[in-house]
Structure 1
Amino acid sequence: MSRFARWSWPLTILLLPVVLMTWASVQSGRVDDVLREAQNIGGYYAWLRVRQVLAGLAYWLALAALVAGPATWLKLRLDAWRALKSRDFLYDRLFLCWRALGHWLSAYAGLLMGALALSLLYELSWGWSHLKAGGWLILLVAVPLIAVLWAGCLLIGRLRQQWHALDSPSSAFLGHRMGRDKAPALWAWIEQLATATGAPVPDHIVVGIDQSFFVTSVDVALQPAGDLLLGRTLYLPLTYLSTLSQAEAASIIGHELGHFCSRDTERGSEIGAHFSLMCLHFAFIRAEDADPAWIERPAIWMTQRFLHYFQLAVHHWGRAQELAADRVGGNIGGERLFCQALLRVIALDAEINTLLAERHSNLIQALADHLRHTPLRLNDAALNHTIAHPFDTHPPTALRLQQLGVTLDDALLAEATRVPTEHDRHWFSQL
């Protein structure tokens, strides 16, 4: 992206009000000149006064927009800075800041549309009254601007609708819910792990094949069944479970349950999940209009900046929560076993993603066949790897091992990259 393109978006916040102010000033000057010549023409004089009021109101609305734009930007930066410094501010105020941004952007767009509407009304009135004296040229220029006014009104409607949708985001992914009646041994095992970690038992257990391990407290629309899951959900990937030992899986699940150990930890998990969904939703909205109108660009740019700066705070505090959850996972079978399981999941990640892209009819069998002939690998790049899942805030792997006091030696690497045993492949199905 060129330097001009990068700066053109934020500059529209200032340029659009300035253009409208200049236009209104020119209109006011035009009507003032005629007023001085038409004071003795009663009816025509009254219409000129109306146009003078229209120009004056348009000017002041544009001036208000000129002030509101930078004020919104300053409030955004201040709130993001406070969120980076205070975890409680982030947890308590993220949604309030998001709603406030929506109100400010709607007000900003409304001021611009009001100024534009008054200026257009002025020009249409002037062009119609001076039709025989060349006023048709003014109409020729002003009428197409009605489309811009319409686009701005649609923007305000979209802002209100989409902000409401983002206030209560939900997630959707593929999986199958395992009820207590269908998998009592699985639930008993998870309850034992929850007791060991001091975490509440999840409300739902979902198994799938296209994600890694994760927990979430946001609402989940489970596909293809269409079930809506409310409360705490634990997601277990059958792909990884077919290549980990039960002890390794217990350590990883202990880490995930660690996100529910305290209210602060769970709130952090909820904030991270909600924020990730906000980003995904906005990316979808942005993709709908690759080249938005100039009148839409200030709102889109400001929203992008909000998500960018608050993402720094979300990831800062989210990574602290991940390290705390690592310690919980380490309490299940020891820090070394947790790190072994963590490295194994990272080594498997690339292989599973490759097989997912190839669209095998039986992914678990394809993974087993693949690992018989292809050894797992871990290199320096893996130490900077972060495990991907829908609500990712994981720190680099090297930092996680360092925080647990575990040294990456040859024995640990050998265990993490071993060929799956028969027990690894079948223990979960035997629960």
Structure 2
Amino acid sequence: MLLLPLVLMAWASLQSGRVDDVLREAQPIGSDHAWLRVRQVLAGLACWLALAALVAGPATWLKLRLDAWRALKSRDFLYDRLFLCWRALGHWLVAYTGLLLGALALSLLYELSWGWSHFKAGGGFMLLVAVPLVAVLWAGCLLIGRLRQQWHALESPSLALLGQRIGRDKAPALWAWIEQLATASCAPVPDHVVVGIDQSFFVTSVDVALQPGGDLLCGRTLYLPLTYLSTLSQAETASIIGHELGHFSRRDTERGSEIGAQFSLMCLHLAFIRAEDADPAWIERPAIWMTQRFLHYFQLAVHHWGRAQELVADRAGSNIGGERLFCQALLRVIALDGEIQTLLAERHSNLIQALADHLSHTPLRLNKAALDHAITHPFDTHPPTALRLQQLGVTLDETLLAEATRVLTEHDRQWFRQLTRPASSTATQPVLPPISTVQEA
């Protein structure tokens, strides 16, 4: 952040000193004297651009730290200003990199001019030295292009998701059940329901681009993983969905979910900017470093407020069937997570059947180490499990562990399939079980 501007300033100062020495000695005359004046201007401009970059770096760093501190202290500041701070950072990175490139380009023009006019006196060597610096200059231009592209893309963020949308006409019983859960959670009904296999339960208000079809879903989306739907009971699933819908129950909770999604996309954009398959050029490293610092410090605020919202959503989930049932479902999801991730890595052609076969001879294991586990999903801000159980007043005893790690039953495997039968077979569908809500004291 400081080294590059200082190096460029020193280089420009040396160039300016060389011109001043020649002018004082009054050796070149005529037209060559005019070229010396041009080189003097080039060196002076390069020095000023490097100085501007030197001042802009620490100033932006201080502004970043101040904004991150305010976001940690104020939830409203985080929700209202995260995107504005990110956009301002993008403008600064483009400007800062542009200042460095400008200083480097002017210094290169100086050296190329000197090398050409002193070609016979060894100036050709300077022309060869300038070639690698031209490559660095080009890398910086490419970085500016990537920065502009990525920051512009985040102004309308979307999530690419592998899954299939289930409409009301395809599964009316499922939608009726979800509407019951939304009513019990005092939350709006999601606009879309998507099923997939490679994520856990989550909701989002970010636009979702479904793959491989390419459909764009706008509004509130509820994602249901078939892997867990075939291994949890319907009551356990209801508690988990109640938790997810709880993110929509209040505007500040929903905004927190949106911020978590937006921050995750920022992290993905950093991975693109870094171009991790290549060693970044030295002129790219200040921008990459500053972006990493931004995400590091704002992550503290995002996780701080996001975890608070998760605890609120836990309360919504516990209102469906009680605190103990919600904790049982939570622990079962944690116990299943490792097994599902292992099977996903093995790329089975029928993952659901492979999971059932695997669980038929592999008992689930869950111990107190799970208290340090945090369930992951695309916008993860979950607190440790121990804290979540503590906030709900549930003790992790042997009975709860046994219920969470029970052997897979036929009901666990079949209830969701029955609930999503086509509308033409509704006459044979089972009646939806009543949802017992637990009111807070």
Where on the TM-score scale, by shorter chain, does this alignment land: which range? over 0.9
CA RMSD across the alignment: 1.6
Structure 1 residues 293 and 281, CA gap change in structure 2 (3 angstroms): same
1:318 alignment partner in structure 2: 306
Q: CA deviation at 1:353?
A: 1.6
Q: 2:181 matched to 1:193?
A: yes
Is contact 1:38–1:44 with CA below 8 Å preserved after alignment? no
Matched residue SS, 1:180: coil
Q: Deviations over 1:311-362 (max 9, x none)?
A: 1111111100000000000111111111111111111111222222222222
Is contact 1:355–1:363 with CA below 8 Å preserved after alignment? yes
Of 14-23 and 414-423, the range deviating more from structure 2: 414-423
Q: 2:136 aligns with which of 134, 144, 148?
A: 148
2:235 alignment partner in structure 1: 247
Q: Percent identity?
A: 89
Q: CA deviation at 1:62?
A: 0.8
Is contact 1:169–1:278 with CA below 8 Å preserved after alignment? no
Whole-Å separation in 2 of the counterparts to 1:74 and 1:289: 31
1:203 alignment partner in structure 2: 191
Q: CA deviation at 1:288?
A: 4.0
Q: Deviations over 1:154-208 (max 9, x none)?
A: 2222211122123332211221111000000100110111111111100000112
Whole-Å separation in 1 of the counterparts to 2:135 and 2:346: 47
Q: 2:21 matched to 1:30?
A: no
Q: Which runs of 5+ in 2 are unaligned?
A: 420-441
Whole-Å separation in 1 of the counterparts to 2:224 and 2:9: 59
Is contact 2:367–2:401 with CA below 8 Å preserved after alignment? no
Q: 1:403 aligns with which of 391, 395, 401?
A: 391
Q: 2:64 matched to 1:51?
A: no
Q: CA deviation at 1:290?
A: 3.1
Q: Which runs of 5+ in 1 are unaligned?
A: 1-12
1:279 alignment partner in structure 2: 267
Of 329-338 and 120-129, the range deviating more from structure 2: 120-129
Equivalent position amino acid for 1:347 in 2:
A
Structure 2 counterparts to residues 108-119 of structure 1, below 5 A? 108-119=96-107
Matched residue SS, 1:290: coil
Q: 2:80 matched to 1:92?
A: yes
Q: Deviations over 1:37-80 (max 9, x none)?
A: 32993433332222211111111111111111111211111111
Whole-Å separation in 2 of the counterparts to 1:243 and 1:140: 66
Matched residue SS, 1:220: strand
Is contact 2:230–2:414 with CA below 8 Å preserved after alignment? yes
1:366 alignment partner in structure 2: 354
1:8 alignment partner in structure 2: none
Structure 2 counterparts to residues 257-406 of structure 1, below 5 A? 257-406=245-394
TM-score of the two chains, using structure 1 as the length reference: 0.94
Matched residue SS, 2:224: strand
Equivalent position amino acid for 1:119 in 2:
S
Equivalent position amino acid for 1:38 in 2:
A
Whole-Å separation in 1 of the counterparts to 2:227 and 2:143: 44
2:92 alignment partner in structure 1: 104
Whole-Å separation in 2 of the counterparts to 1:85 and 1:414: 41
Q: CA deviation at 1:385?
A: 0.8
Matched residue SS, 1:167: coil
Count of paired positions: 419
Equivalent position amino acid for 1:275 in 2:
F
Structure 1 residues 43 and 285, CA gap change in structure 2 (3 angstroms): closer
Equivalent position amino acid for 1:148 in 2:
V
Is contact 1:346–1:382 with CA below 8 Å preserved after alignment? yes
Ranges of 4+ aligned residues in structure 1 off by more than 6 Å: none
Whole-Å separation in 2 of the counterparts to 1:398 and 1:54: 63
Equivalent position amino acid for 1:411 in 2:
T
Is contact 1:241–1:425 with CA below 8 Å preserved after alignment? yes
Structure 1 residues 129 and 382, CA gap change in structure 2 (3 angstroms): same
